[in-house]
Structure 1
């Protein structure tokens, strides 16, 4: 025997078929008795009388043969098979991986009853709390109608908070999705599984969950607020915001190392959505160094809440069953009213100033600025309205201005003013005629009044028409900027850029603001998915971390 000393006792006991051959030490005290080996080797055969004979039970030759057999077995066991065994395992294709990932994720969520309870009850509960609290009506005894949709001054708040809730819930529901799988992903890394299949599985499950949450929120919230005929459109926008927030949540879940960091970060992602949405503070009322009175600043273009709120507010105002009858007429009347009451008056004041001071050297700067303004505005007007002509556009220069040009300007503005007065009156007559048609019988009149109560909202009208703005027109960088009735003003800017509450925007031609904003939200969501797929934020954070390590290393 040439093995382990302790195992030698087991070896020799097994060869003589000892009763307790698998015990090498005392059960009670744990001592090992080495004398057992000699006793076993020298044990003799008993005769028929039970007396020991001089012959051993196992001869030295047999012990040697046992030794040789055990050694051969040991050598065979120690031989290494250099050939790799055939592998029957195959990595599933990407589609099958997708199904496996989805199944694993769904089963994981279904097993967590607390997760299901919170996520399926949170949306309707928040919808109930929000809608119930802000369902306002005048409790005066003179109000015999009780609650009416037209009189609820909190509708803009409901729309805005619905968007914020969708963003907040979308973030929280997805913030842990990847970080909680980090150990599993690390364990499965050697399999080279598809990253895209994993991400698509996460997105698929979150899409379904977000769709259900958005649906429950809209159904309950809109029903309590008595918003009629808008369920689908509210769901589309809120679902879009939910999914966009899901993508942000997945990006930070993949990029940061701890759950605590992620949840600390969420308020920093939600608060800008509130402040920079253009609702709490108008964009033109922000610090002038980072804002502009003529356009939405760049940071406003990346705020999901702005796109979502604007889409719902504009669609709610324009496309409800009441306003859809009058919007086209109201739009023309608004344009005519702005031109005759504000635009013409402002430019006529500039012409009066020029008539007095165009040849006064002390007012050269004002004269030049006013000439630039007049030329820009008349040029834009001629491009949109060729019915009233002006032949002195090229003479609106300080070196060429004279009394003839000034008189031509006065004549032009008198004509353009009459043109818009006439246009306003014609459209106003059409509108009055339509209203009379809709109220030609007492029953129709009653239905018409009820239609307005059920679908029109006065507070939302104040927001989108900006009627509370005291400054209706401003002069900025050689142009006049309309601040009243943005909901009736078409933007001339290209590729989805427009003023807040624009009724339609340019995207391969003019398209409804609702659908343009929806497309922008989904385009942003796609960009976020690409950022997640290529792990852009994660790599950036790792680069900064490595940079910090190198910097600290140099200092030490």
Structure 2
């Protein structure tokens, strides 16, 4: 309190005191002013100085002649102006509650002589008017202090505490009053309390004033209570006496709270237990019963299970044994109904959004039945209550790059939960990282919530005396999860001192200042034994089990199981439907991204910059004049374009879910749809990928002068990028740190590079992986292989030059290969067998090749069937069959030669028509502009020396893979195949590959919905003792089997919630 404020207060007291008719009867300065100053200054010298100042002012005003105003008031105009001036000065410094305290002191000053003059009443009214005090509170406070009876007091705001039994038990009395719709007559019975304690509730400031009329020696905060004098009952205060049970401020508060609350909430737990796997830690058997209007603190050393207890209570962790109910309903039912709120220690904020936007989107997900106007009104109310109005337009920022303070961040986190008004609020370490002042503000906020009828439970570390006193109840856990205390915080000091047989066990507070030292509780609990050398050992003096036994013996039997009405409190909490949630999540995600300018700048420039770098460096022009047809780097550009698409898609999505992990946890706690959340992320990333890949194609293709292929390039790169998006989202959802995510990215990209088909030929891989006939399975698992093949085949096949000749060129190639390579190879095998008759019986492999190739001539190309096909085996093969086969193959070769000539004629015809239509110069320009010779060399395998590979059961063509028909009819094919076969259906490679990548993307999407990868990781991270449990493997297989049902499951959850409501 500043010097100017003290001067003003003493000045005001002197003016009021000067209004007394006779100051010789009672010395108010000593009776009222000195105790007030001593309490606020805690310095006797200063107190004496200000008492002297008070008497100086008093003597001055007493010496002034009395005057009367024209309007009949007994106060002169000078005094009116002085009081107004002093009150205005005090108004700038004093809170409303502090003004009421000053007014109470003035009333005590006026009533010190037990006589109230009209002038004193006018002074009191003038001060109340200038202080802007609530008129009802002023009237009640005046009557409370100046009259000893309760006739003039508002019965709704009075509580009488005495030793008189009520006619009915409290529970029955409440029911009777409720049925009769009468206003409650509050009464609290305390055995052996002679006289009575009268409590006045000042509603405007939610403060209690009391006085005691009786003969007992009662104490408040270690100081003796003077009968008939008013006292402020601070949060956490205890009225004690030698022969009465302690009267707690929380018990008094409850008398008023339960009348205000619509529905009383009782949280009950019976023998709740939880044990971590392969560990004795967790939570030992714990029973409790707590109701509305309490602020409960949970204390204990590090690793004692406080967070585990909170997570059990909020339903995040199911207990191994026991049950928890809220008014008889399960935690799941209560959570769906919006009864439970949870504020974790970490932020639940969108750092890129403003304070208002965080609250707005939270409101949209909680109040589906509210209009925009009502949501706006709700947000304004919460911001006003939590003092967030001034920062509503500030971006939240991250903890290291702050734009709002730590205390404001905590209040904003609490605001997110309070907006939907849960009846029970769990808060994990609300004061961590805050200054002592912000910590006290935060706890006062939680205390205020409790006074409004909420049940608030908070984990607390090293609380100050003021914070410690705010708790209505304290739970203490010891190592191993043993509950060792459940009761009033102040009594905890006495309890542990008594259990530890300390000398001053009954002393809970400092007798001089009234402060409590909470640290001494943990010091007693965790005290270590001292060895012979006088050093502390690791062994505890009292083990956790011993404290637990004392708890079961001394505390547990006294705990009462509260009664409740089996109904949940009404709430406005209504989550939107799946589609509405998707729109909310999408808008929130988009705004958070736009607000991050670096994110926008990098992601919009990344693609064109990389395209420029790639296009510029791969624009091969040996003589200074660039020609697309002569660019030897085109295949490299195609493959690197795929790599860039995968890289961009992976990096942009790798943190998307991980950075929202805390928010996701909260939204799952609110039963919001994971399906909607995932779809909002997927849709945004797909749109971003579409923009990025289009920018890449426009820039890169423009530099390399790739014409007429924009759609093909964009679709393939977009498809590959979307696949990478899904991979990134899966690892973002599954892994538990950013480091792990970015360590994993090379393990994903390197196989895509190695097995994409461009760097290493598939038939040149390690023999255990390679396959001469098809792309090996390990290659088929790579999205880069499908994308690169689709892009290369599309560039070769669908450009404006080749599209005129592709079909006829394919026919020419097929006939040429069989005429020049395949049939001669078959003839070679047949001649080899004919010249070596001894090996017929052991030449099963060669004969199998002969049989399959001869059969293929008929089935694939329509050449006449060989009548002795069944004799091409070791049992029947002979010289006659070999001679007949020689003639047959000669006819077949002529067959393909004739087909080849006819195909050449058709090609010449196409060439002539095209030449006639556009001219020779334009034709040459067309070829140079659209046809790349080096890509053609690659796809026609012109560098291959062996045109035919002799496999185990057939000959495999190596020449012209781009023109070659696949061997498989189930979709598998060689690399650069022009189309894929599904039965007799031909699907172009471009279409097939794009569809295949999207199928892989959909599988990843279903895995993401079910969070399968995270479940598998959790399974393998479980203790080794579980590996021998066969049911674990069954559970994992069941998880994998449930992937296709993930979408349906998400929709069913929403349906069940609606049905419950």
Q: TM-score range, shorter-chain basis?
A: 0.7 to 0.9
Superposed CA deviations along residues 360-380 of structure 1, whole A, max 9, x for unmatched, are 25x642x33222211111011
The residue matched to 2:741 in structure 1 has which SS? helix
**Higher RCO (CA < 8 A, seq sep 6+):** 1
Alignment partner of 2:147 out of 52, 59, 62: 62
The alpha carbon displacement at 1:406 in A equals 1.5
8 Å CA contact 2:646–2:720 kept in 1: the answer is yes
Q: Which moved more, 1:251-260 or 1:400-409?
A: 400-409
Relative to the length of structure 1, the TM-score reads 0.87
Q: Is the 8 A contact 1:507 1:516 kept in 2?
A: no
Structure 2 residue matching 1:397: 3-state secondary structure: coil
Residues 492-507 of structure 1 aligned to structure 2 (within 5 Å): 492-507=967-982
**For residue 596 of structure 2, what is the aligned residue in structure 1?**
112
Aligned residues: 520
Q: Alignment partner for residue 387 of structure 1, among 863, 886, 906?
A: 863
CA positional deviation for 1:273: 0.3
- Cα deviation, 1:259-290, whole Å, max 9, x if unaligned, reads 11101111110010000111100111001112
For residues 228 and 444 of structure 1, the distance between their equivalents in structure 2, rounded to whole angstroms, comes to 20
CA contact (8 A) 2:948 2:958 kept: yes
Give 1:519's aligned residue: 995
Which residue number corresponds to residue 248 of structure 1? 727
| 1:437-472 Cα shifts (integer Å, max 9, x gaps) | 43359x700000000000000010011101101111
1:46–1:356 Cα change, 3 Å: closer
Kept in 2, the 8 Å contact 1:388–1:415? The answer is no
* Structure 1 match to 2:689: 210
Does the aligned pair in 2 maintain the 1:131–1:221 contact within 8 Å?
A: yes
Cα distance change of structure 1 residues 434 and 61 upon mapping to structure 2, 3 Å threshold: closer
Q: Which residue of 1 aligns with 2:647?
A: 168
Equivalent residue runs for 1:137-152 within 5 Å: 137-139=621-623, 146-152=625-631
Query: Is the alpha carbon distance of 1:410 and 1:117 closer, same or farther for their aligned partners in structure 2, counting shifts above 3 Å?
Result: same
Q: Which moved more, 1:486-495 or 1:190-199?
A: 486-495
Deviations 1:87-131 (A, max 9, x none): 122111111111110111011001100000000000000000000
1:469 aligned residue (926, 944, 951): 944
1:269 counterpart residue number: 748
Q: Does 1:135 align with 2:619?
A: yes
Q: Which of 661, 666, 669 matches 1:187?
A: 666
- Residue from 825, 828, 833 that aligns with 1:354: 833
Instruction: Indicate which of 228, 231, 256 corresponds to 1:77.
Output: 256
Which residue is 1:98 aligned to?
582
Matched, 1:295 2:774: yes
Per-residue CA deviations over 1:479-508 (Å, capped at 9, x if unaligned) read 100011011011131232111001011247
Trace 1:289-438 onto structure 2 (pairs within 5 A): 289-358=768-837, 360=838, 364-365=841-842, 367-438=843-914
- Partner of 1:290, secondary structure, is coil
Task: Give deviations 1:285-331, integer Å, cap 9, x for gaps.
Answer: 00111211111111111100011010010011011111111111111
Does the residue aligned with 1:510 lie in a helix, a strand or coil?
strand
Runs of at least 4 residues of structure 1 off by over 4 A? 16-33, 39-42, 45-48, 57-61, 64-69, 72-76, 78-85, 548-552
Deviations 1:135-194 (A, max 9, x none): 002227xxxxx1111000111111100001000100000011101111112233321000
> What's 2:954 paired with?
479
- 1:506 and 1:384, CA in 2 relative to 1: closer, same or farther beyond 3 A? closer
Which entry has the higher C-alpha Rg, 1 or 2?
A: 2
- Cα deviation digits, residues 191-234 of structure 1 (max 9, x gap): 10001000011111111111110110111111111110000111
Question: Is 1:178–2:654 an aligned residue pair?
Answer: no
Rounded to whole Å, the distance in 1 between the matches of 2:816 and 2:648 is 44
Once the 2 structures are TM-superposed, how far is the Cα of residue 401 of structure 1 from its aligned partner? Answer: 2.2
Counterpart-to-counterpart distance in 1, 2:1026 and 2:862:
67
Q: Distance in 1 between matches of 2:876 and 2:782?
A: 47
| Contact 2:980–2:987 (Cα < 8 Å) also in 1 | yes
Q: 1:464, 1:485 within 8 Å by CA — same for their partners in 2?
A: yes
| CA distance, structure 2, for counterparts of residue 176 and residue 59 of structure 1 | 63
Matched, 1:44 2:44: no
Q: Separation in 1 of the partners of 2:735 and 2:746?
A: 15
CA contact (8 A) 2:944 2:959 kept: yes
Q: Partners in 2 of 1:328 and 1:479 — Cα distance? A: 26
Check whether the contact 2:735–2:1014 (CA below 8 A) recurs between aligned residues: yes
In structure 1, how many angstroms separate the alpha carbons of the residues matched to 2:882 and 2:971? 38
Query: 1:9 — aligned with what?
Result: none
Contact 1:178 1:254 in 2 (8 A): yes
Q: Deviations over 1:526-549 (max 9, x none)?
A: 000000000110000001111348
Shift of 1:22: 12
8 A Cα contact 2:668 2:674, kept in partner: no
For residues 415 and 46 of structure 1, do their structure 2 counterparts lie closer, same or farther at Cα, with a shift above 3 Å needed? closer
* Aligned-CA RMSD value: 3.2
Q: 1:24 to 1:293 in 2, by over 3 A?
A: farther
- Alpha-carbon offset, residue 333 of structure 1: 1.0
Deviation (angstroms), 1:41: 11
Q: Secondary structure at the match of 2:199?
A: helix
Scaled by the length of structure 2, the TM-score of the pair is 0.46
Structure 1 Cα separation of the partners of residues 145 and 673 of structure 2: 65
Q: Flag the 1:431–1:43 CA change in 2: closer, same or farther, 3 A.
A: closer
Instruction: Give the Cα separation in 1 of the matches to 2:257 and 2:889.
Output: 107
Relative to its length, the structure with more helix (as a share) is 1
Per the TM alignment, residue 405 of structure 1 is displaced from its structure 2 partner at its CA by 1.0
- Cα pair distance change 1:93/1:425, threshold 3 Å: same
In structure 1, stretches of 5+ residues that fail to align are 1-12, 49-56, 141-145
Secondary structure of 2:147's counterpart equals: helix
Contact kept, 8 Å, 2:855 with 2:865, in 1: the verdict is no
SS in 1 for 2:950: strand
- Range that drifts further, 422-431 or 230-239: 422-431
Distance in 2 (CA, whole Å) between partners of 1:47 and 1:152 is 107
Distance between the aligned counterparts of 2:844 and 2:144, measured in 1? 128
Stretch of structure 1 that moved more, 76-85 or 473-482: 76-85
Distance 1:130 1:28 in 2: 76
Q: 1:339 to 1:104 in 2, by over 3 A?
A: same
SS of the residue corresponding to residue 505 of structure 1 reads strand
